[in-house]
Amino acid sequence: MASLKISAILTRSTTLALALLLLAGCQTTNVGTTNTEVAEGGCLAETPLSTDLSISPPSADVPDDIARFSGVWGNGKWDDKLCHTLAVVSIDADGNAEAIYSYGTYSGWDIRKAEYFKPNGKIADGKLTLETFRNGAKAVYWFSGDVLKGSYTRNGNTSYVTLSRVNI
């Protein structure tokens, strides 16, 4: 019986230690943001970005309506649940784009690990469409004033997000 109590205490201690490590890890993914940005939007610290993140400014031959997608967009949640950051790291005059798509965790959707990946995309007719994801999902982004709106569609279900420009 004593070994069962010790085992339960160790399990709780291990769980607490793991939770604290995960929380500490979230802080290390906060690439160049200020505490104010994190407090206001709450999502930048939860969405990892590459530590060597570099945004290539669009060249002069890139039309303004395409060039405006360039940069880091964050502090939004898909359906007010899953944190999301999008970095559009390069764009050419034809609207071809390289991006970093990052998301946090949300147990309600069984997403337990914050990750990022680097899809290519195409900007045309005022929309950035990322290449189809491994899971078959499609993400599309467009402007509404100064914010970037997005839709994520998979298996006939669509989620929405609103992102703001982030200075990192």
Calculate the CA 138 to chain-centre distance.
Answer: 15
134: part of which helix (H) or strand (E)?
none
C-alpha span between 63 and 125 (Å, rounded): 12
**Residue 126 region, left (φ>0) first, then alpha (ψ -120 to 50), else beta?**
left
Residue 16 pLDDT level (bands cut at 50, 70, 90): very low
Structural domains in the chain plus CATH codes: 31-166 (2.40.128.120)
Retrieve residue 45's tokens. Answer: 């610290």
The verdict on pTM exceeding 0.85 is no
Q: What is the mean pLDDT of residues 56-85?
A: 97
156-166, pLDDT tens digit by residue? 999 999 999 99
Look at residue 144 and give its three-state secondary structure: strand
C-alpha span between 163 and 85 (Å, rounded): 8
Residue 29 pLDDT level (bands cut at 50, 70, 90): very low
